[in-house]
Amino acid sequence: MGLFRKEKKLDQDSMKEGVGLITLTSPTSVIAEQFRTIRTNIQFSSIDQKLRSIVFTSSGPSQGKSTISANVAVTWADQGVNVLLVDADMRRPTIHQTFQVPNKKGLTSLLTEDEFDFNTTIQKTPVEHLFVLPCGVVPPNPSELLNTKKMDKLIVELTKHFDLVIFDAPPVISVTDAQILASKVDGTILVAPQGIADKRSVIKSKELLDVVHARILGTIMNRVKPENTGGYYGGYYGGYYGAEESKK
Ligand SMILES: Nc1ncnc2c1ncn2[C@@H]1O[C@H](COP(=O)(O)OP(=O)(O)OP(=O)(O)O)[C@@H](O)[C@H]1O
Ligand SMILES: [Mg+2]
83-138 pLDDT tens trace: 999 999 999 999 999 999 999 999 999 999 999 999 999 999 999 999 999 999 99
Total domains present in the chain: 1
With a 6 A CB cut-off, is 20 part of the ligand 1 pocket?
yes
Rounded to whole angstroms, the Cα distance separating 193 from 221 reads 5
Average pLDDT over residues 178-184: 98
Share of the chain above pLDDT 90, in %: 77
Q: How many C-beta atoms lie closer than 10 Å to residue 247's C-beta?
A: 10
Percentage of residues in the chain having pLDDT higher than 70:
87
What are the residues whose beta carbons fall under 8 Å from the beta carbon of 44, sequence distance 6 or more?
none
pTM comes to 0.91
* Assigned domain for 25 exists: no
Q: Which pLDDT tens digit goes with each residue over 48-87?
A: 889 999 999 999 999 999 999 999 999 999 999 999 999 9
185 class by beta-carbon count within 10 Å (0-12 exposed, 13-18 middle, 19+ buried): buried
Assigned domain for 176 exists:
yes
**In terms of residue numbers, what domain contains 80?**
30-246
Cα 110 to middle of ligand 1, angstroms: 27
**Residue 240 pLDDT level (bands cut at 50, 70, 90):** low
Spacing of C-alpha 213 from chain mean position: 19
**Which pLDDT score, from 0 to 100, does residue 2 have?**
39
Q: What is the pLDDT of residue 235?
A: 35
Q: Note whether 65 and 191 are within 8 A (CB).
A: yes
| Residue 143 belongs to some domain of the structure | yes
CB atoms within 10 A of CB 46: 17
Question: Which of 43-52, 65-74, 158-167 is predicted least confidently?
Answer: 43-52
Nearest of 40, 62, 60 to residue 51 by alpha carbon? 40
Largest distance between two CA atoms of the chain: 54
Please enumerate in sequence order all residues whose Cβ is within 8 A of that of 175, keeping only pairs 6 or more positions apart, or say none.
Answer: 91, 142, 143
Provide the pLDDT for residue 47.
84
Using the predicted structure, report yes or no on whether residue 224 has a pLDDT greater than 90: no
Q: Is 222 in the pocket of ligand 1 (CB under 6 A)?
A: yes
Task: Report the nearest-CA residue for atom 23 of ligand 1.
Answer: 62
Considering the domain boundaries, does residue 106 fall inside one? yes
13 lies in some domain: no
- Ligand of minimum distance to the alpha carbon of 68: 1
223 CA from centroid of ligand 1 (Å): 9
Residue 125 neighbours by CB under 8 Å, 6+ apart: 99, 101, 131, 132
Q: What is the pLDDT of residue 142?
A: 96
Q: What is the CATH number of the domain that holds 115?
A: 3.40.50.300
* Neighbouring residues of 231: CB distance < 8 A, sequence distance ≥ 6: none
Helix, strand, coil percentages, rounded to 5, for the chain: 40, 15, 45
Could you give the C-alpha distances from 221 to 115, 195, 202, in angstroms and in order? Answer: 40, 10, 11
Whether the CB-CB separation of 233 and 34 falls below 8 Å is answered with: yes
Enumerate residues with CB within 5 Å of ligand 2 (an ion): 65-66
The atom of ligand 1 lying closest to the CA of 67 is 18
8, 12, 14: residue to mutate for ligand 1 pocket, most atoms within 8 A of CB: 14
Mean pLDDT of the chain: 89
Query: Could you tell me if 130 and 21 are in contact, meaning their C-beta atoms sit under 8 angstroms apart?
Result: no
The answer to whether position 2 is within a domain reads no
